Amino acid sequence: MGTQAPAIRGPVPPSRWASVSPRRAPRPWLLLGLSTAVALVLVAPLAFLLFEAHGAGTSTIVHLIFRELTASLLWNTVRLTVVVTALCAVIGTAAAWFVERTDLPGRRVWAVLVVVPLAIPDFVVSFGWASLSTRVAGFQGAVLVMTLAVYPLVYLPVAASFRNSDPGQEELARSLGAGRLQTFWRVTLGQARVAILGGCLLVALVLLAEYGAFEILGYQTFTTEIFTEFNVSFNVPTASALSLVLVLLSLVVLSGEGLARGRGRLSRSGPLAQRAIRPHRLGRARLPALLGFAVLVGLALGVPIGSSVYWILRGGHAFLTGVSLLDATWHTALYSAIAAALSTTMALPVALLAIRHSGRGYLLLERSTYLVLAMPGLVIALALSYFTERYANGFLYQSAPLLVIAYAILFFPLALVGVRASIVQAPVGLEEVGRSLGRGRVSVLLRITLPLVSPGLAAAFCLVFLSAVTELTATLILIPTGVQTLSTQFWAYQQNLSYGQAAPFALAIIAIAALPSVVLGRFFDRLPSRGRPAR
Amino acid sequence: MPEVLFAMKRIHRPLLLTVLLVPVVALLAACGSSSSGPSKSITLYNGQHVQTTDTLVAAFERESGIKVNVRSDDEDTFADEIVTEGSNSPADVIYTENSPALEYLQGKSLLAPVDSTTLARTPSRFNSPQGGWLGVSARVSVLIYNPSLIKASELPTSVLQLAEPKYHGKLAIAAGETDFQPIVTSVARTNGRAATQKWLEGIKDNATSHIYPDNETISSQVNRGAVAFGVINQYYWYRMRAELGAGSIHSKIAYFAPHDPGYVIDVSGAAILKSSKNQSADQKFLVFLVSREGQEIIAHSLSFEYPIVPGVTTAAPETPFNELQPNSITIPQLGDGSTAIGLLREAGLL
């Protein structure tokens, strides 16, 4: 246990045989160089957009932004984000509490079933609902569909937090005379606050960036409007200006989450406080709870999958030609795997530098890469597309490498989360032993650090792979000529109302994405690797 | 805890190797496949419906031995992309649903002239007067309506009535579709800019939440009873019927009054880019599009567009092309669509 490195504060050598102080160590030039390069690549699309928007002239931008349509888009985007985020917070937290803290029958099965919707792209959930009923449309349709599609983003971190938090505080509160409800509200939720906020942040960012689901539901947001603008006129200043509004909205969400979280406090009485949590007895609430879970899983999982199966069974004419399922699957897997490897590789130096070497600059470098979170896939794709076309003489334009690079940039924060988590866990002492035995930096990296963090690399790989497989918006723009991925071919069929032909592609996406989800579930389940709560 | 990690290390070492090796192998594979293409190939920017294009391309490839790489997207996107790409454009040929995108490119001097013998195969009123692009097929704008929500007698007979308050909440439009812009241009020609502006604002009020991204969505939503009626091109209704089967069709189409500004013929066309390095192959592709074989494919595929080469006709039940009574607006008058886009934008529909 003593080798547990603190999360943020950096490389305080925790073990007594760590004699080499990192402050005396030479500057990690290689890591620094690599990390700087990565950070520059990540921030480049944003810089490019700023440059283009600036070049367009203020009057054009003002004219574009300050018109009636912008106000209605803003209203649509904001109200949806607020309502869905709130709903996800309630549903995700409630589900996590029941699974982790009560004696709900079949908890292990529910724990898997409530997470699986993460593997279903939002546009497939949307398709599943909208193709069955015309009433799923507009604002209410968007609230329903998006809540069901993204609540796992709150569930996952909150469940992990419930699993690892200290039950002693709840007992203490009760013993001091707090009622059940008061204890739940002030202690249990208080402990999960950071996790809930983190989940809500992810939900809000997804909502700001979503395109496919809203297009199907006929709900206009900033992202759908930028896409239309891009379709009507492939126009740098227009799209850049609107994109910047979107980036600004994302930044507001990001900083809002930071403010609400405040200073993180360690909610643990001592290092040994982790122990088995005695589950709450549900008693008579058992049946309603079970019913609730059945309804949630039925709506979030049953409807999209059921609807896809329905359309396949119903058949329809082979109306449209397109690439085969096998071909699309191959390209999807290929691009996603390369992007995942690239993203993971890029995350490694940034995470190593921030965690293994002290220095405000290094942390700042790491933090700057989170700016990518504020850039929706559409914005990154447009920036890369314009850039290669206008300034790189068409080099890489409409090519597979550019699509892969876009994925790698877009999902870099996810890779960083995975890599970071396991570097924090890996005992720094082993590296120092290696170095004290005469091994060079590179040798230590390859022979000690990499094997130690390999679970984290695998998790990062899976996270990025999963996200790339389900990506639609950037893919539509950057797809190489003559190629289709599962999502673009699904989209082409869906747009032509060929539901019977679209459905197999939807199921293929779910099938491919489900596998890394399971691997991820296992990784994050093991991650704390402290005392496990009793099951 | 180190024990746990060591155990994980054993499990994950192969995975780590895979993670690191995948990009290398994949890149090698990608390089290998890209260098081994067929000797002769052209790239087509396709704004037309994929199924129409795919059938035509397959037949052309069989006949000519020239490979066609198809990239499909919205034609307005392509038009502006080509302008930005300039001499670096990967495209050789562009094939669109409507003429304005082609007129726009012609205006920017980015198109190579089409062989005059090819142009001579189709009626000259459907080609570019300057010879920069070739008309391939045609469609007509109509209303689609759901008889259980609105009676045929209650439908507007003129496109101008779409703005009347009695249609509030009943009308569906796809303002971003290239098919809607010619109607706007036509109304602006007959009634002037100011009146068109007012008309568009009325349409926006009436369409409420039924402003859809495309004609497919309009057709589907009217057919399912989500909205009473909408403006589409006739072939979307036939295509939907082919896809869903006649038993699932709960909608009908209705024509505007003869010569109404909304009764517009839209011409689909193709053009060769000046920057193309495969001019002779490009010309062959255009010849194929208006050849008897190409036109028969258009007439009998599930596209339901009207072929325009004399002597080739569509199958029933479509109203025969020569029985249509469209407005007199010409291709040059439809122009490059910029007037329509400007008006739509001012009305807040774009």
pLDDT in tens, chain B (350 residues): 333 333 334 444 555 555 555 555 555 555 444 444 445 899 999 999 887 898 899 999 999 999 999 998 888 888 888 988 888 899 999 999 999 999 999 999 999 999 999 999 999 999 999 999 999 999 999 999 999 999 999 999 999 999 999 999 999 999 888 889 999 999 999 999 999 999 999 999 999 878 888 898 899 889 989 899 999 999 999 988 887 788 889 999 999 999 999 999 999 999 999 999 999 999 999 999 999 999 999 988 777 899 999 988 887 667 889 899 999 999 889 998 889 988 998 888 87
Q: By the CB < 8 Å criterion, does B120 face chain A?
A: no
Calculated CA dihedral for residues A305, A307, A310, A316, nearest 10 degrees: -120
Question: What is the topology classification, in CATH, of domain A23-52+316-535?
Answer: MetI-like fold (1.10.3720)
**Which of these, B345, B49, B76, B305, lies nearest to B184 by C-alpha position?**
B345
Q: Do the Cβ atoms of A319 and B243 come within 8 Å? A: yes
> CA B225, CA B260: separation in Å to the nearest integer?
27
Closest Cα in chain B, distance from residue A452 (Å) = 6
Residues of A in contact with B69 (CB under 8 A): 481-482
Over A326-377, what HEC string results? HHHHHHHHHHHHHHHHHHHHHHHHHHHHHHHCCCHHHHHHHHHHHHHHHCCH
Query: Residue B1: its pLDDT value, please?
Result: 33
* Highest-pLDDT range among A181-195, A367-381, B112-126: B112-126
What dotted CATH number matches A57-262+287-314? Answer: 1.10.3720.10
Q: Give the nearest chain A residue to B30 (CA atoms).
A: A400
> CA B230, CA B213: separation in Å to the nearest integer?
13
Chain centre distance of CA B41: 24
Joined tokens for residue B44 = 């087509």
Q: Do the Cβ atoms of A452 and B217 come within 8 Å? A: no
Query: Is-contact A468 A388, C-beta < 8 A?
Result: no
Of the two residues B15 and A207, the one the predictor is more confident about is A207
Q: Do the Cβ atoms of B22 and A341 come within 8 Å? A: yes
Nearest to B243 among A137, A232, A316 (CB): A316
Angle at the Cα of B187 (from B183 to B191), degrees rounded to 5?
Answer: 180
What does the pLDDT look like over A222-261, one tens digit per residue?
Answer: 888 888 777 766 566 677 777 888 888 888 888 887 787 7
Joined tokens for residue A205 = 């960012």
> CA A277, CA B142: separation in Å to the nearest integer?
67
Cut 0.90: pTM above it:
no
> CA A453, CA A55: separation in Å to the nearest integer?
45
> CA B118, CA B30: separation in Å to the nearest integer?
39
**Which of these, B284, B290, B296, lies nearest to B66 by C-alpha position?**
B284
Query: Residue A232: its pLDDT value, please?
Result: 67
> CA A48, CA A392: separation in Å to the nearest integer?
13
At B290 the three-state DSSP class reads coil
Query: Residue B39: its pLDDT value, please?
Result: 52
Neighbours of A313 (CB within 10 A): 9
> CA A333, CA A485: separation in Å to the nearest integer?
9
Mark which residues 513-532 of A lie under 8 Å from B by CB: 526, 529-530
Helix (H) or strand (E) holding B231: strand B229-233
**In chain A, % of residues over pLDDT 70:** 87
Cβ-proximal residues to B245 (8 Å cutoff; 6+ apart), any chain: A316
What does the pLDDT look like over A479-514, one tens digit per residue?
Answer: 999 899 999 999 988 887 788 889 999 999 999 988
**Which of these, A348, A370, A426, A362, lies nearest to A7 by C-alpha position?**
A426
Chain centre distance of CA A349: 21
**AA letter at A130:** A
Range B17-20 contact pairs with CB under 8 angstroms and sequence separation of 24 or more: B19/A340, B19/A341, B19/A344, B19/A457, B19/A458, B19/A461, B20/A341, B20/A345
- Chain region(s) in chain B for CATH 3.40.190.10: 41-138+266-319, 139-264+339-346
Q: Do the Cβ atoms of B84 and A425 come within 8 Å? A: no
Joined tokens for residue A288 = 């309603």
Strands B171-172 and B229-233: parallel
Q: By the CB < 8 Å criterion, does B243 face chain A?
A: yes
DSSP A471-511: --HHHHHHPPTT---HHHHHHHHHHTT-HHHHHHHHHHHHH
Interface-testing mutation among B35, B51, B224, with chain A (most A C-beta atoms within 10 A):
B51
**Which of these, B320, B350, B282, B313, lies nearest to B60 by C-alpha position?**
B282
Joined tokens for residue A258 = 């930071």
DSSP B107-123: HTT-EEPPPHHHHTTS-
Q: ipTM more than 0.90?
A: no
What does the pLDDT look like over A150-168, one tens digit per residue?
Answer: 999 899 888 888 887 777 7
Query: Is-contact A388 A460, C-beta < 8 A?
Result: no
CATH architecture of B139-264+339-346: 3-Layer(aba) Sandwich (3.40)
Cβ-proximal residues to B217 (8 Å cutoff; 6+ apart), any chain: A218, B174
Helix (H) or strand (E) holding B249: none
**Which of these, B260, B166, B175, B326, lies nearest to A231 by C-alpha position?**
B175
Domains A23-52+316-535 and A57-262+287-314 agree in fold: yes
DSSP B260-273: -TT--EEEEEEEEE
Query: Residue A224: its pLDDT value, please?
Result: 87
Cβ-proximal residues to B71 (8 Å cutoff; 6+ apart), any chain: A398, A481, A482, B43, B44, B45, B46, B91
> CA B5, CA B228: separation in Å to the nearest integer?
64
Q: How far is residue A191 from each of residues A197, A266, A527, B344, measured CA to CA in Å?
A: 11, 9, 19, 52
User: What b/e readout covers A406-443, taking b as 16+ CB neighbours within 10 angstroms?
Assistant: bbbbbbbbbbbbbbbbbbbbbbbbbbbbbbeeebebee
What does the pLDDT look like over A275-289, one tens digit per residue?
Answer: 666 788 888 889 999
Query: Is-contact A504 A408, C-beta < 8 A?
Result: no
> CA B49, CA B301: separation in Å to the nearest integer?
12
Q: How far is residue A202 from each of residues A346, A388, A414, measured CA to CA in Å?
A: 22, 30, 11
Q: Which residues pair with B142 in a beta bridge?
A: B232
Chain centre distance of CA B229: 21
Q: Do the Cβ atoms of A231 and B242 come within 8 Å? A: no
> CA A117, CA A263: separation in Å to the nearest integer?
32
Query: Is-contact B276 B260, C-beta < 8 A?
Result: no
**Which of these, A49, A36, A41, lies nearest to A406 by C-alpha position?**
A41
Q: By the CB < 8 Å criterion, does A236 face chain B?
A: yes
Q: Give the nearest chain A residue to B211 (CA atoms).
A: A218
Mark which residues 65-84 of B lie under 8 Å from A by CB: 69-74, 76-81, 83-84
Mean pLDDT value across chain A: 82
What does the pLDDT look like over A105-144, one tens digit per residue?
Answer: 998 889 888 988 888 999 999 999 988 887 888 899 999 9
**Which of these, A495, A132, A491, A129, lies nearest to B217 by C-alpha position?**
A495
> For the domain with range B41-138+266-319, which CATH number is right: 3.90.1010.10, 3.40.50.720, 3.40.50.1820, 3.40.190.10?
3.40.190.10
Query: Residue A21: its pLDDT value, please?
Result: 47
Burial class, A216, CB count within 10 angstroms (exposed 0-12 / middle 13-18 / buried 19+)? buried
Residues of A in contact with B54 (CB under 8 A): 320-322
Indicate the DSSP class of residue A396: T
| Ramachandran angles phi, psi of B271, nearest 5° | -145, 160
Sequence spans of domains, chain A: 23-52+316-535, 57-262+287-314
Q: By the CB < 8 Å criterion, does A298 face chain B?
A: no
At B126 the three-state DSSP class reads helix
First to last CA, chain A: 22
**Which of these, B66, B64, B92, lies nearest to B78 by C-alpha position?**
B92
> CA A31, CA A39: separation in Å to the nearest integer?
12
